[in-house]
Amino acid sequence: MAPEDSAVPRSVGAVNPQTMRFDQPLAFKSGATLDQYELVYETYGKLNAAKSNAVLVCHALNAAHHVAGYYADEPDNIGWWDNMIGPGKPLDTEKFFVVGVNNVGGCFGSTGPKSADPKTGKPYGSAFPVVTVEDWVNAQARLADRLGITCFAAVMGGSLGAMQALQWTISYPDRIRNSVVVAAAPRLSAQNIAFNEVARQAITTDPDFHGGDYYGYGVVPRRGLRLARMIGHITYLSDDAMMEKFGRALRSDQINFHFDVDFEIESYLRHQGDKFSEYFDANTYLLITRALDYFDPAAAHGDDLSKALAAAKARFLVVSFTSDWRFAPPRSREIVKALLDNRHDVSYAEIDAPHGHDAFLLEDPRYHALVRAWFDGIHAKL
């Protein structure tokens, strides 16, 4: 049998999530505190002897620690960025030790609203603290401490994950050598906050929400979650992508003159909403969208983003996509300008892609070639 070609992209294979428990209190930006908490995470590749090849991958809204590979008992449960991370892939796990973590407040194993509050024995529910990107980064830094990682070769993310990669350069400038910021914004626009608020209202006005304490009632605010996902999903796709995939196609061969599903796009959105409501937690959705709203590193510096990024020491790769109307390229260029104002080392790429905001998750050859070249350059310096 011929030896396996290491240059051919492969899966990292079957992976196992791990749990790290912390008994040191975690103080939130809001002033609240968690006395103890757990973080669920996965790792891929091997940490080198110098512990200099670690890359933290931060997740966006509905993702978590399962970044690459699959579970042995769930072979169809493939990591959300599996096309990007693995042997021979742009972020090559034969060169780097990659860490994915489910953030505090999440619903995939890390301590969150549906976790039991040790003081009451009941789920935190509405009592869980409102979290911020800064809080997540602080918790991630503690996980890095436990793993023996004093400095990440890179922190990488798309969308809300990219905001964490940016915040790392502000909160821990000496612990990050490269920041990969994909499909991001330095803060949300009023329109983006409005979309989040409509989604939250869909959840909080669901009769099964019970003020966030629905766990004790044995119900899930499923209708609200479905609507929230449908609203969000529309913003992740471009008009061109939706027209190309669905157009005005009907489910049957004629208009039926009713208010049930007539168009294929309606069927698609309902399917996405139904699927999402089966696995995601409503309180976590509220927390994460609020963290998006509150992210604004310039606020503490007189609304001057350049001042906010002055202390950063990392090299930056900033990537945007032409059809992304939720976090449009001009928002990435705001970040680039602020970095250049400080004479930071920054590379910027604007990828002509039709897929909308979700383009950061897809396998665009130019985008992947760019990320591969960037990480090859990082590896060459290790």
**How many CA atoms, within 13 angstroms, populate the side-chain half-sphere of residue 361?**
20
**Is residue 357 flagged as an active site residue?**
yes
* Identified catalytic residue from 52, 110, 159, 332: 159
The residues, ordered by sequence, that sit 6+ positions from 103 with a Cβ below 8 Å of its Cβ are 39, 59, 64, 110, 131, 136, 139, 140
324 is catalytic: yes
Q: What φ, ψ does residue 127 adopt, rounded to 5°?
A: -80, -5
Confirm whether 135 is a catalytic residue: no
What is the rounded CA–CA span in Å between residue 250 and residue 252?
5
Q: Are 182 and 162 spatial neighbours (Cβ–Cβ below 8 Å)?
A: yes
Catalytic residue among 82, 281, 324, 358: 324
Place of tokens 């983003």: 305
- Euclidean distance between CA atoms 305 and 310, whole angstroms: 9
Q: In terms of residues, how long is the chain?
A: 382
| Nearest residue to 180 via CA among 202, 152, 148 | 152
Tell me which of 66, 344, 355, 357 is the catalytic residue.
357
Annotated active-site positions, please?
159, 324, 357
